[in-house]
Amino acid sequence: MPSSSLDAPVPDPGLPEDPDAPSGSALPEGAVVVAIGLLVAGISTYAFFRVGTSALGGDTEFAPIAALWFAMFALAPGFFLPLEQELGRALAHRRAIGQGGRPVVKRIVALAVIISIVVVAVIAITSPWVTSAYFDGDWLLLVALAVAFVSYAPVHLTRGICSGTARFGSFAFVVGSDGVVKIIATIALAAIGITAVGPYAFVVALSPLLAVAIVWSRGTLATPDGPPAPWREVTQNFGWLLLGTACAAVLVNAGPMAANLLASDTEADAVTRFSYGVLLARVPLFMFQAIQASLLPRLARLAARRDYDDFRKGLKLLILVVAAIGAIGTTAAWFLGPWILDLVYGADLSGRTIAMLALSSAIYMLALAMSQAVLALEDHAQVAIGWISGILAFVVGTWLAGDQLFRRIEIGLVASSVIALAWFSIALRRRLAIVDQT
């Protein structure tokens, strides 16, 4: 398991060391190390679903935890990933021009506190509807959702500092340890015979904090002091970034959430089976996070230096790699997906459904890569509009695709990813044409 001891020494702000990988490399700096942490997190995620299902007595009983899981990962990254990205981008930019980033960190922490208070207040205000419509009246799950949201604020801040200062060993440690703590705690609860949903819900909510505490205690999050950071340095495009990231997070979790809302009372087990299919289809997308964590800081450094030739070369090679991975993943999902689901979870899901989920994830990966490039060129509004368009495409596609629960969601997911990818491709082409003229 990677830890902060694996981090390469971070140069002082004034040193002219170039942390970027060579322009011929498809993988940004730190991607391999982060991939190891994500691999650990991915394996423990699958184990959590498997052990949790057994501990609670079956797919139907585990359905509330699956619903909490996907709601949490729609909500927390939706609001805190923008902070992580802006923090990583701003710190990487300051490194590129030889400035310390501590004032930037203080600004982002203040924003995180404000967002946490506002969102928890909104959850409280809407709690009667959310509890009734999404959690089948279980208020304990709503409380767990609010606790989970607050818990992930320091996680994303830690990840932002680590990616912006090239401490990717610590980034991987935080990502991987989250999953490890979840599975260890779940096994412990199951071993002592806990069958109530509540304890497992709070395992999901609190598990990420241990790794953050360890990384912080080792001084890994220390950043050099530097010039004051005016609010516009971290908030100039924050509204657009927040809107876009929230929509992107909702979109990537829209399938299981829609299944939970649209399923009848007799289809609770189908919702859990669909969640298993989403987890399997997301394997390439899950690993893409290793690239995403270091992609935006790298592109931000290249854009800050106006090195648009390397910007184009690196992005083009990355797109080819992502497209190839997506194609392989979709094909494997069609032929091997049902067998793997039956082997791991004892669940029955068609190859078509798993392949459609994998295809939507592959297209989403391409859209995500393109959106990161647009963000690096500071066209945050186009990123927000692109993800909003994807959400609208999902709603329309799901609405028009008939009455079959799985098929209508599959079509909605593919349509949403295609629309978002098309929008980002056009926006990137236009933005690069503008910078070429300046």
Lowest mean pLDDT among 43-47, 108-112, 418-422: 43-47
13 by DSSP, 3-state: which? coil
- Are 76 and 219 in the same domain? yes
Cβ neighbours of residue 354 under 8 Å, at least 6 residues apart?
A: 277, 280, 281, 333, 334, 337, 338, 341
Cα–Cα distance between 73 and 45 in angstroms, integer? 13
Tell me which of 184, 201, 236 is where a domain ends. 236
pLDDT at 364: 94
Chain position carrying tokens 């830890």: 3
C-alpha closest to that of 200 among 56, 379, 344: 56
> Whole domain around residue 148: which residue ranges?
28-236
Within 10 Å of residue 8's Cβ, how many Cβ atoms? 13
282 by DSSP, 3-state: which? coil
- Read off the pLDDT of residues 161-172 as tens digits, 9 standing for 90 and up: 988 888 888 888
- Are 116 and 242 in the same domain? no
Cα–Cα distance between 249 and 293 in angstroms, integer? 15
Cα–Cα distance between 133 and 151 in angstroms, integer? 24
Q: Is the whole model's pTM more than 0.95, yes or no?
A: no
Domain count, the chain: 2
Cα 250 from chain centroid?
10
Chain position carrying tokens 């990355």: 318
Chain position carrying tokens 């001891």: 5
- Read off the pLDDT of residues 50-69 as tens digits, 9 standing for 90 and up: 888 888 888 788 888 988 98
pLDDT at 296: 61
Query: What are the two backbone dihedrals, phi and then psi, of residue 54, each rounded to the nearest 5 degrees?
Result: -65, -40
Cα–Cα distance between 417 and 248 in angstroms, integer? 10
| Residue 380 falls inside a structural domain | yes
- Are 152 and 277 in the same domain? no
- Are 214 and 354 in the same domain? no
Cα–Cα distance between 159 and 87 in angstroms, integer? 9
**pLDDT band (50, 70, 90) for residue 12:** very low
- Are 371 and 243 in the same domain? yes
Mean residue pLDDT across the chain:
84
- Supply 51's token pair: 């052990």
Cα–Cα distance between 97 and 107 in angstroms, integer? 19
Q: Exposed/middle/buried for 311, CB within 10 Å: 0-12, 13-18, 19+?
A: buried
- Are 255 and 230 in the same domain? no
- Supply 314's token pair: 């690196």
- Are 138 and 182 in the same domain? yes
- Read off the pLDDT of residues 222-239 as tens digits, 9 standing for 90 and up: 888 888 888 777 777 778
- Are 157 and 222 in the same domain? yes
| Alpha-helical segments (H) within 305-379 | 308-345, 351-376
Tell me which of 236, 267, 302 is where a domain ends. 236
- Read off the pLDDT of residues 270-301 as tens digits, 9 standing for 90 and up: 888 888 898 888 888 776 766 665 666 677 67
Cβ neighbours of residue 105 under 8 Å, at least 6 residues apart?
A: 87, 91, 157, 161, 223
- Read off the pLDDT of residues 27-46 as tens digits, 9 standing for 90 and up: 555 667 777 887 788 788 88
- Supply 184's token pair: 């260890």
| Residue 116 falls inside a structural domain | yes
Cα–Cα distance between 370 and 428 in angstroms, integer? 7
- Are 178 and 312 in the same domain? no
Cβ neighbours of residue 134 under 8 Å, at least 6 residues apart?
A: 67, 71, 257, 260, 261
